[in-house]
Amino acid sequence: MASSSAYRQTQIFLKKTRDRVLSGNNDALMISSRFRLIDAKGEVLGRLASQISYVLQGKDKPTFDRSKPLGDAIVVINASKIHLSGRKMEQKKFHRHTGYVGGLVTRTAKAMHARDETFLIRKAVERMLPDNQLRKEHLRKLRVFPNEEHPFKDLSADRLVPFEMPLRALKRSDGEDEYRLETESGNDDEEDDGWQRRV
């Protein structure tokens, strides 16, 4: 009887812990050794999501193991200022079905962004992660905020590490690819010298 009671208490404890993690409680996330802070202002959605999924899986570490969730937790700020190249804001569509006849609901990326400013980043990262049992584990380590306010400001500098996006390839008018820094506004350092933005 005592063993079954202890087993039942253990199961209740595990269920509460699991529910706390799934509900997005930040206390459960504090177990992570390091947090990476990413500023999404002006970043292209696809490039940003690929880098986030890379870090979430721990592929930037020498201890990478695809069977274990060894990646760092990621805090994304300024999600409302994300950039989609071309006319994807109007042309990209998301579909869902209510389950009833004629219940297909279609919304553009612009409409989804207006409803939830963190949706585009969360959905893009989710679709870039491998579709296996570790996907939920990786997504639990992702926190996206629409502006610069986030609850992890009290972390020490060695735990909350800013993440720098890799340099973006720019295409010269002669067709050669080279890497070059860009300003925050997205324009080149020099105004017109044969460089073009690659989108």
- pLDDT tens sequence across 131-155: 999 999 999 999 999 999 999 988 8
Q: 52 and 119: one domain?
A: yes
pLDDT tier at 18, thresholds 50, 70, 90: low
Structural domain total, the chain: 3
Q: Per-residue pLDDT for 192 more than 90?
A: no
Q: 184 and 120: one domain?
A: no
Q: 140 and 70: one domain?
A: yes
Q: 7 and 69: one domain?
A: no
Confidence (pLDDT) at 162? 92
Phi, psi of 44 (to 5 degrees): -75, 135
Q: 97 and 71: one domain?
A: yes
Q: Per-residue pLDDT for 174 more than 80?
A: no
Q: 11 and 39: one domain?
A: no
Q: 129 and 156: one domain?
A: yes
Confidence (pLDDT) at 88? 95
Determine the structural domain holding residue 111 and report its residue range.
32-166
Burial class (CB in 10 A: 0-12, 13-18, 19+), 153: exposed
Rounded CA separation 197/165 (Å): 16
Rounded CA separation 61/72 (Å): 10
Over the stretch 68-122, which tens digit does the pLDDT of each residue have?
888 999 999 999 999 999 999 999 999 999 999 999 999 999 999 999 999 999 9
> Which is nearest to 80 in space by CA: 35, 145, 11?
145
Q: 158 and 176: one domain?
A: no
Q: What is the mean pLDDT of the chain?
A: 81
**Region 175-196 average pLDDT:** 50
